[in-house]
Amino acid sequence: MNLNWKKNVRNIHLFNDIKLTPFSNGSEMEGWREHNCLNCKKFKGESVDIKKGECPLDIRIALAYINDGTIPFKTVNRIGYKEIHLQADKDNKISGFVDLSNCKEKITKYKQNEKDN
């Protein structure tokens, strides 16, 4: 079973335990992080310590990179997405791929003119 899903799902909480694959490879992940995390005021460096004020969304993406490549739906929902593609295997375990949008929680470091000065 394949299910293409856009943001109009009403019972979104039913998907909280699903893990999704946001990037097809490490280069794609690095490009997304560079555009979002590295240009965000919440980005504190390459450590993965929430106690030091690191962004939990960036940490989850970094941990996905070194683990199985998936992030929880809760994280996807906080970041923001364009579309999710879900599929069930023969045991009805649901997994899927997600097309992430720009991070909804990003706080831009620089105003457009500040960066050039």
Q: What is the pLDDT of residues 34-84, one digit of tens each?
A: 899 888 888 877 666 666 667 888 888 888 888 988 988 888 888 988 888
Residue length, the chain?
117
Q: State the maximum Cα–Cα separation within the chain, in Å, rounded to a whole number.
A: 57
| Count of CA atoms in the C-beta half-sphere (13 A) of 61 | 30
Share of the chain above pLDDT 70, in %: 74
What does pTM read for this prediction?
0.71
Domain that holds residue 89: 2-116
Query: Token pair of 63, please?
Result: 């941990």
Number of domains in the chain: 1
What is the rounded average pLDDT of the residues 1-26? 67
Whether residue 94 has pLDDT greater than 80: no
Nearby residues of 102 by Cβ (< 8 Å), 6 or more positions away: 35, 36, 80
Give me the pLDDT at residue 36, please: 92
In this model, does residue 116 exceed pLDDT 50? no
Q: Return the pLDDT at 1.
A: 42
pLDDT for the residue 47 = 60
CA 70 to chain centroid: 9
- Banded model confidence at residue 110, pLDDT cuts 50, 70, 90: low
